[in-house]
Structure 1
């Protein structure tokens, strides 16, 4: 029988060689896990700057592994599950422990609860994302929005008090840091629509290739030369842009609802993202075959 695990066909299928292109994205994900675990160790040793840098490096790798997998056609179910586990460690557990060892330990159990709630919120957010990724009832415009702050953005955002201390500001009260940690955790598990940019066209006009290269190099140079200033500015701008994403989602939802109300009875639902194509019917055709049926 072909489904028998002891059959020669099943044995050959089980031990067949795996293409290297299927392994490359997983190597990147494993490197990101190493960065997250190293960040935890560095935070226990008090080297907070290196710990935060390791989380940022893990976030960069998290943005690369999926794009590399799609580029070289190396997607796999194993890679998707590994990526979710990596996100929970790197952007849930590690930032919570960094904040705890940095300041939240001053609140004893209260600080530990704040760090633990943030880590659990990251895990719940990832589980919800995996469960609703293939939802057939999701409207077309919803593909351009996340539900809640994504885990990498939540990890970068929640460490804003640490960035401020690195810039020379006085350390905020521990209770304020705990409330801010809980707020970011709540935003991660909330139903807040957050603009994702997935459907934005990534094609660059030929005349803009060199300016784009220069801009990217300039941004990377600023991030390397002034890391805490850039991370602080980007985090504040991201938080200020959250209401704009919610307003944009609400406008799309209102337009979709308006399109549904003007439809004639029995018509198929309209896709608000699809272009309008007028239908053309022959003047001599009628619905006589339908009536005969």
Structure 2
């Protein structure tokens, strides 16, 4: 039974690796518009990658819960969890942002002058995610809350972007064609992951409303946003999560 949490963690990693395959195999073809040839990427596999990140997040949620229930928490499990997370919630979001940047540049007049240097900032996301996860494993203050935004939150946020582009709730899709907005998102996410901001964790020590009202409010906002906003709920909940953590920061605890 002690290997059950590790199996769930490896399932998280499996989903992350499969998401990478989907992104890498998004087929490209040449399309001609007004006598000019353009390279067009079929985005369908990237949507599947988004689904894999969501599934990885489910496995990531349950591996820790199962470990606590079975009382089989171990240093190896903690390290394995971080190794899986850096792939599923670091490398995969970086690759999704890389693709989004590339698609955004395809809409610009100087598309043929764009180099990989323009797209490379997307790869800062996996770098900062790796740094954040390494710091998490050494920081004893994060047993009851997080310091900096956790990588799964960043991964799920970025995974929602292709789905927003596909379903276009509230006409949000066109914003992801703005390269400067994508650059800004990359900078903000990298900062939030390694910042010293105390962030709410959904680990309940009791169910007192007084002690847990930010958690209950976040859960209520999440449910309401999903019902009202569709895929646009993910960015909304992410922003609400950060703002709630700033308004009601969790108390620091040293172990």
Instruction: Give the equivalent residue in structure 2 for 1:27.
Output: 7
Asked whether the 8 Å contact 2:78–2:137 carries over to 1, the reply is no
**Cα distance change on mapping 1:99 and 1:194 into 2, 3 Å:** same
Deviation sequence 1:121-179 (CA, Å, 0-9, x none): 1011111111112x5xxxxxx75431110010011123443232122333421232122
Q: Specify the SS of the correspondent of 2:82.
A: helix
Measure how far apart 1:40 and its partner are. 0.6
Secondary structure of the residue aligned to 1:153 is helix
Larger radius of gyration: 1
Of 100, 119, 123 in structure 2, the residue corresponding to residue 116 of structure 1 is 123
Runs of 4+ in structure 1 deviating by more than 4 angstroms, as ranges, are none
Instruction: Compare the two structures and name the one with the higher strand fraction.
Output: 2
Check whether the contact 1:92–1:118 (CA below 8 A) recurs between aligned residues. yes
Residue matched to 1:176: 181
Output one character per residue of 1:53-86: Cα deviation in whole Å (capped at 9) or x when no partner: 0011001100010111111122222222111100
Query: How far apart are residue 249 of structure 1 and its match?
Result: 2.2
Kindly indicate whether residue 56 of structure 2 is the aligned counterpart of residue 58 of structure 1.
yes
> Can you give the 5+ residue segments of structure 1 that lack an aligned partner in the other structure?
1-20, 136-141, 204-214, 254-270, 272-293
CA distance in 2, matches of 1:143, 1:72: 18
Q: TM-score, normalised by structure 2?
A: 0.71
- After TM superposition, the structure 1 = structure 2 runs for residues 202-241 of structure 1, keeping only pairs within 5 Å, are 229-241=229-241
- The alignment's C-alpha RMSD in Å is 2.9
Query: Partners in 1 of 2:207 and 2:72 — Cα distance?
Result: 20
2:76 pairs with 1:78:
yes
Whole-Å separation in 2 of the counterparts to 1:195 and 1:111: 34
SS in 2 for 1:103: helix
Matched residue SS, 2:3: helix
The answer for the alignment partner of 1:287 in structure 2 is: none
TM-score (structure 1 length as normaliser): 0.63
Which residue does 1:289 correspond to in 2? Answer: none
| CA contact 2:15–2:52 (8 Å) conserved in 1 | yes
Query: Aligned partners of 1:159, 1:89: CA distance in 2, in Å?
Result: 13
Asked which structure has the greater RCO (Cα within 8 Å, sep 6+), the reply is 2
Cα deviations across residues 200-253 of structure 1 (Å, max 9, x unaligned)? 4269xxxxxxxxxxx9xxx6xx97xx8xx5442133122133122123228x58
Question: 1:149·1:187 contact (CA, 8 Å) conserved in 2?
Answer: yes
In the comparison of the two structures, how many residue pairs are matched?
A: 208
Residue 207 of structure 1 is matched in structure 2 by none
The 1-side partners of 2:118 and 2:192 are apart by 19
* Inter-CA distance 111–85: structure 2 relative to 1 (3 Å threshold): farther
Is the alpha carbon distance of 1:248 and 1:197 closer, same or farther for their aligned partners in structure 2, counting shifts above 3 Å?
same
Conserved 8 A contact 1:194-1:242: yes
| Counterpart Cα distance in 1 of 2:166 and 2:93 | 16
Contact residue 54 and residue 159 of structure 2 kept, 8 A: no
Shift in CA distance, 27/241, structure 1 to aligned 2, threshold 3 Å: closer
